[in-house]
């Protein structure tokens, strides 16, 4: 089997005096979408922040593309090709959609073919191209945040709850956009509490509880196994019903 693109082994994270991650182990295969589930406070966001180096792992190892990035700085992790869309979308509300996207590409102008591809994924952004991003709806802001993360080619995308609080119609267009991202061969680690979206998109699923991984496997296996679903989704979704 090919080496996974990202691998966490025995990762512990402390935030101040609090011990949040208790030995997290999982791997992310290239060109697949892996969903990370878990109830509120399970440690999903802390896991993404630890991968990005925004929290420093207190022990354990994070390998990306064959390289140990456990102690690498956040800018260097970003430069190595990991894009991160945090829960609170990182967009500039006073700037236009266009300016948000232009500023997201650090290495120069966004390649025209790439821009066409991005606007094909999120057509609403084209409609509001010259409007301040603050005027967009919640779902459109979320789409802009994702578009900013892919303004440059990335090896891996970490995306935290993009459908949170969105109306069903917006959830459906988000699912379509992620399907297109998958079809382009992107590798994605997606925190997604909406099981409809998670099961429509995930190749693999990881479930966390209390700072630990309690399940990892194929999404299809979870979708087909109602007992497993009840056991794990009780854990992962009870706080979201």
Ligand X SMILES: Nc1ncnc2c1ncn2[C@@H]1O[C@H](COP(=O)(O)OP(=O)(O)OP(=O)(O)O)[C@@H](O)[C@H]1O
The residues that touch Mg ion, with contacts defined as CB under 5 A, are 44-45
- Are the beta carbons of 3 and 157 closer than 8 angstroms? no
Which residue from 4, 38, 83, 162 is in contact with ligand X, where contact means CB under 6 A? 38
Please report how close the Cβ of residue 95 comes to ligand X at its closest, in angstroms: 27
The DSSP code sequence of 167-236 is -HHHHHHHHHHHHHHHHTT--EEEE---HHHHHHH-SEEEEEETTEEEEEEEHHHHHH-HHHHHHHHHHH
- Residue 43 near which of ligand X, Mg ion, none (CB within 5-8 Å, type-dependent): ligand X
Residue 18 vs 113, nearer CB to ligand X: 18
- Are the beta carbons of 133 and 97 closer than 8 angstroms? yes
- Residue 46 near which of ligand X, Mg ion, none (CB within 5-8 Å, type-dependent): ligand X
Residues 6+ positions from 194 with CB-CB distance below 8 Å: 163, 171
What are the tokens at 61? Answer: 């190892």
- Per rule CB under 6 A, is residue 57 in the interface with ligand X? no
Q: Which stretch binds ligand X (CB under 6 A): 34-42, 102-110, 112-120, 141-149?
A: 34-42
Calculate Rg over the CA atoms of the chain: 17
- Per rule CB under 6 A, is residue 11 in the interface with ligand X? no
- Per rule CB under 6 A, is residue 45 in the interface with ligand X? yes
The residues of the shown chain that bind ligand X, judged by CB under 6 A, are 15, 18, 20, 38, 40-46
């Amino acid at each position: 089997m090919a080496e996974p693109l990202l691998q966490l082994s025995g990762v512990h994270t402390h935030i101040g005096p609090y011990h949040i991650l208790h030995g997290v182990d999982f791997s992310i295969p290239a060109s697949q979408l892996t969903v990370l589930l878990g109830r509120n406070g399970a440690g999903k966001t802390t896991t993404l922040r630890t991968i990005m180096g925004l929290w420093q792992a207190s022990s354990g190892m994070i390998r990306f593309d064959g390289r140990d990035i456990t102690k690498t700085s956040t800018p260097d992790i970003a430069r190595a090709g990991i894009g991160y869309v945090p829960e609170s979308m990182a967009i500039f509300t006073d700037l236009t959609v266009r300016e948000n996207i232009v500023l997201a590409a650090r290495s120069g102008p966004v390649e025209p073919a790439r821009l066409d591809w991005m606007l094909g994924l999120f057509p609403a952004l084209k409609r509001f191209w010259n409007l301040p991003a603050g005027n967009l709806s919640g779902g459109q802001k979320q789409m802009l945040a994702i578009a900013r993360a892919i303004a440059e080619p990335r090896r891996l995308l970490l995306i935290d709850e993009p459908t949170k609080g969105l109306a069903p119609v917006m959830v459906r267009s988000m699912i379509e956009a992620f399907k297109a991202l998958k079809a382009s061969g992107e590798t994605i680690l997606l925190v997604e509490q909406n099981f409809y979206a998670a099961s429509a998109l995930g190749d693999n699923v990881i479930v966390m509880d209390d700072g630990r991984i309690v399940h990892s496997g194929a999404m299809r296996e979870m979708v087909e196994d109602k007992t497993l679903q009840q056991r794990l989704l009780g854990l992962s979704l009870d706080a979201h019903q």
